[in-house]
Structure 1
Amino acid sequence: MANDLSQLSFFTESYPPYNYRESHELKGIAVDLLLAAVSKVDDRLDPNSIQLVPWARGYKLTLSGVNTVLFSTTRTPFREPMFEWVGPIATTRVVLFAPTAKQLKIANIADIKKHMIGTIRDDIGEQAVLNMGVPRTQIMQAHNAHSLLYMLQRERIDMWAYEEFVGRWLIKRAAIKIDEFEAVYTLKESELYYAFSLDSDPKLRALLQLGVDRVKANIQENGLSEYQNILSKYQ
């Protein structure tokens, strides 16, 4: 079955530390896990074939097929029937970030609706606030997380809906003191997966799932699994 997985088109976005580009090279927890999983089933995948695209574009391409994979994708009841799933990659928590100096107190959905929220179109953060009934008039979209962080700093938005680990990574990389922003509300706790288009071959999904399972089960000399060693590189 060599090279079977190369039949698939893989899309990802800039979502560090899970997937991102640095010095013209794709890196991250999800990228490392994908390549390790492929190697565990004696298959091949050229890292250069993975396309880094804006989230909304990758989401649309994977919804419409053909033989596409999008990662890292939060698995939710809303998305469940839209894709086939391989993973999980990691646990995830989507939150609302706000400037610590504002001392915002968010106790319920009614509190959220009082504020302007920054999101990325079709991102899990946006879907979460929309599912809560937040009107679109209270949502300001941006193409990427860096733009949302900029908007939050300049008070163009009150809160930013995003994955917590990724948000804190971006704040640190922007040379901003991490205590300048705080998570004021948890929108969703879930897991990240490789999301396959519905037309994808179930044999290929099963092959990659087998590889992921083998990476997580592979205990190395330091007593940690290969997967735990991948995680430790980005913590």
Structure 2
Amino acid sequence: MIVHNQREKGAIAFVVFNQPEISTDKIPSVVMVFLMALAVSTTVQASPLNKFQLMTEHWAPYQYEDGKELKGYAVDIVAELLKRTGSSQTKKDIQLLPWARAYRELETTENTLLFSVTRTPERENKFKWVGPIFYNTTYLIALKDSHIKIEDGHSLKNYRFGTIRNDVSELYLKRYDVAPKNFSRHNNTKSNLEMLMRQRVDMIVVGWEAFKDDARSLGLDPDKFEKVFELDNANVSIAFHPKTPDRIIAHLQNTLDEIRSEGLFGKYLRKHGIEQPKGFP
């Protein structure tokens, strides 16, 4: 009998010549159990996302559509995650949906994931999480010539706000007891900006990076606006339906940690011109 130990692409193969057939009933049961467990584990790690509905929303510069191609910092991160976990899916399988629709799908439909989702205490137990992929500070933004000054959150009840339906923007305002009647609800920041320019709202609720990108896309100068109040600062992650198996979440988190440790977070942030808090990534 001649045995060769061959290594190719990180796998180990044993090639046996002139070896008579071995009946499985002669293999110790503990070995059979080990081999079966190894096979199951390998299958799970090879393609944990194949059956997932991959969803995102427009939130430039993190994720957005350029022509028919999906681009952005978070898209690059998720595409790398898919690749490293052995998924047959790519960024071409990611659906760009209105936020309210995508969020509803995540709440009600198994085998779904949504990015990028602000991870708040109110949402913590509603989903399972892999992240963070970046941090976002949410501001109230107004036109400079409106001269709005906010000393504390209790005065917010006196203003009108452009918000995104079911978004964290509404959640933050509700913390300050702002009534929904003060919300002008839309599907995206661009619509809120248009309402602000028409003086239909006093402020919009958005992160500064996303605001600058959307303002420029509408031909507006970001320097004519200002941050008048900071609502919150939170990590942004990939959210999964709560019935997603923990072993898959753990495997994806470990893979994301590897991507971050290799410096790809920083590379993609620089690629898209995004600033992050000191110490991240």
With normalisation by structure 2, the TM-score equals 0.79
Separation of aligned partners in 1, 2:101 and 2:181: 23
Task: Tell whether 2:271 aligns with 1:233.
Answer: yes
Secondary structure of the corresponding residue to residue 91 of structure 1: strand
Any residues of structure 2 matched to 1:69-218 within 5 Å, and which?
A: 69-218=113-262
Secondary structure of the corresponding residue to residue 82 of structure 1: coil
Q: Is the 8 A contact 2:164 2:186 kept in 1?
A: yes
Identity %: 32
Counterpart code for 1:197 = H
Counterpart code for 1:227 = F
Shift of 1:44: 3.5
Separation of aligned partners in 1, 2:179 and 2:223: 29
Post-superposition CA distance 1:49-77 (Å, at most 9, x none): 11110000111110112111111000000
Separation of aligned partners in 1, 2:272 and 2:88: 24
Task: Tell whether 2:87 aligns with 1:49.
Answer: no
Task: Tell whether 2:104 aligns with 1:66.
Answer: no
Structure with more relative contact order (C-alpha pairs < 8 Å, separation 6 or more): 1
Secondary structure of the corresponding residue to residue 199 of structure 1: coil
List gaps (5 residues or longer) in structure 2: 1-44, 274-281
With normalisation by structure 1, the TM-score equals 0.93
Shift of 1:150: 0.4
Separation of aligned partners in 2, 1:121 and 1:10: 20
Counterpart code for 1:7 = K
Shift of 1:42: 3.5
Any residues of structure 2 matched to 1:215-226 within 5 Å, and which?
A: 215-218=259-262, 225-226=263-264
Shift of 1:121: 0.9
Secondary structure of the corresponding residue to residue 226 of structure 2: strand
Bigger drift between 204-213 and 85-94 goes to: 204-213
Counterpart code for 2:271 = K
Q: Is the 8 A contact 1:73 1:195 kept in 2?
A: yes
List gaps (5 residues or longer) in structure 1: 219-224
Task: Tell whether 2:81 aligns with 1:37.
Answer: yes
RMSD of aligned C-alpha atoms?
1.2
**Number of aligned pairs?**
229
Secondary structure of the corresponding residue to residue 80 of structure 1: coil
Shift of 1:23: 1.5
